[in-house]
Amino acid sequence: MSDQTKNETQAENNVSSRRDFLKIAGAMVGAAALTQIASVGIKKAQASHGEEGEHRWGMVIDINLCIGCNYCTYACQAVNNLDDDMLYNVVTTETTENGDEYFLSRPCMHCDDPPCVHVCPVAATYIRDDGIVTMDYDLCIGCRYCEVACPYDVRVFNWREHSGTSPRVPAFGTPEVPPRPRGVMEKCTFCQHRIDIGVERGLVPGVDDSATPACVVACPTGARIFGDLKDAESPASVSLQANKTPIRLREELSTSPKVYYLPPTGQTNAATEEG
Ligand code: SF4
Ligand code: SF4
């Protein structure tokens, strides 16, 4: 096969894989999207979006590097002291139309226009000026509107009184945040406690481990990249600039996630050709 034909075949495979990824990623969260549409009727008029601040934290997930080990999930469970059945982050196995498997890891998307914030009747969930969508657990009344509204299915209800320590401790970390009361809706905060303390100390989230979300630090392949999207030199910005085709899940909903994905690039075919 000539070099040009090889390149054209590879390019076609890349486009095909990307299309597959978009289709599967869309279908994966499709059911939740239906409930999101159903929730429009309870939309809160004065959703809190906050003023835009100095930073805008975001994450890039490189699908090509993810090996599905779930270390991100386990580190998240350890740091947030979560039981086995409580997941702020999920990793699923998906298959392209070519039959190639890949892993889709999914934290909260930290939407710029978050449906969960719109529907919360008591402003317990809100968006900070650095773009992190977070919770005031003292205000949460456990109505679960946010869970219904989230098109990405990443909200977790706390059914139990806090007891004991996560089975992921100490292998994947130690608890770093206070226990939440029974009956509240929980979520990923991009490890805001690490970011806040880190920034105060002059550390750089995404660069200095102690100021970076635990899932990013735990990833053994560097599939998760974090940083300030307002800083062109942050690891997340550099990654986005270097990749021409980053995508966001359910773009059509205009939620503007701050989690970006680098879609599959047809590695299997490339490997076959090299062999
Ligand atoms: Fe809210 Fe869901 Fe968006 Fe996270 S992904 S900000 S929980 S709507
Ligand atoms: Fe993928 Fe990294 Fe999570 Fe492992 S830790 S599942 S490689 S994102």
In this structure, what CATH number is given to the domain that contains residue 94?
3.30.70.20
Cα(72) to centroid(ligand 2), Å: 5
Cα(48) to centroid(ligand 1), Å: 14
Beta-carbon contacts of 149 under 8 Å, excluding residues fewer than 6 positions away, are 35, 36, 39, 115, 116, 118, 119
Q: Ligand 1 within 6 A of 18 CB?
A: no
pLDDT of 162 reads 77
Atom of ligand 1 nearest to the CA of 153: 2
Q: Ligand 1 within 6 A of 253 CB?
A: no
Cα(91) to centroid(ligand 2), Å: 8
Q: Which residue range(s) make up the domain with 72?
A: 3-274
pLDDT tens for 50-78 read: 457 999 999 999 999 999 999 999 999 99
What gap in Å lies between CA 163 and CA 196, rounded to an integer? 27
What gap in Å lies between CA 134 and CA 1, rounded to an integer? 53
- Do the bridges between strand 101-106 and strand 90-95 make them parallel or antiparallel, or are there none, so unpaired? antiparallel
Q: Whose CA is nearest to atom 2 of ligand 1?
A: 150
What gap in Å lies between CA 243 and CA 120, rounded to an integer? 36
- Do the bridges between strand 57-62 and strand 259-262 make them parallel or antiparallel, or are there none, so unpaired? parallel
pLDDT tens for 192-211 read: 999 999 999 999 999 999 99
Query: Which residue stretches of the chain have pLDDT < 50?
Result: 1-17, 20, 24, 27-50, 267-275
pTM: 0.82
Alpha-helical regions (H) of the chain: 3-28, 30-38, 71-79, 115-119, 145-149, 192-200, 214-218, 235-242, 267-274
Residue that is written with structure tokens 């991009």 in the block: 190
The domain tally of the chain equals 1
Atom of ligand 2 nearest to the CA of 73: 3
